[in-house]
Amino acid sequence: MPINRLLAAEKYPPEKIECLTKAFNLALGRMGLVDRDDPLCELVARKVLEVAETSPGDPKQIAEAAVARIGL
């Protein structure tokens, strides 16, 4: 899963990892992405992390903002 690779590169506390993983999965669901090997999943993961830097810790809001930034 692309987000796990990106999360491993940083030091996040467990609760933040859980939040980001939920947001990632919600964003993939909104976009209808099932294949985690799809290159678009990496873009989604990067957008989730980007949004989470300035967003409150609500996975749903992070997912919605990430999808909006991608433009879908």
Question: Domain limits of the chain?
Answer: 2-70
Q: Closest Cα to residue 24, out of 1, 53, 56, 8? A: 1
The structure tokens listed for 53 are: 């830097």
Q: Is the pTM of this model over 0.85?
A: yes
Q: Which residue has the tokens 């985690």?
A: 36
Q: What is residue 7's predicted lDDT score, i.e. its pLDDT? A: 81
Question: How many Å apart are CA 49 and CA 8, to the nearest integer?
Answer: 12
Question: What are 14-62's pLDDT values in tens digits?
Answer: 999 999 999 999 999 999 998 888 889 999 999 999 999 997 779 999 9
Angle, nearest 10°, between helix axes 14-31 and 59-70? Answer: 50
Q: Is 31 helix (H, G, I), strand (E, B) or coil?
A: helix
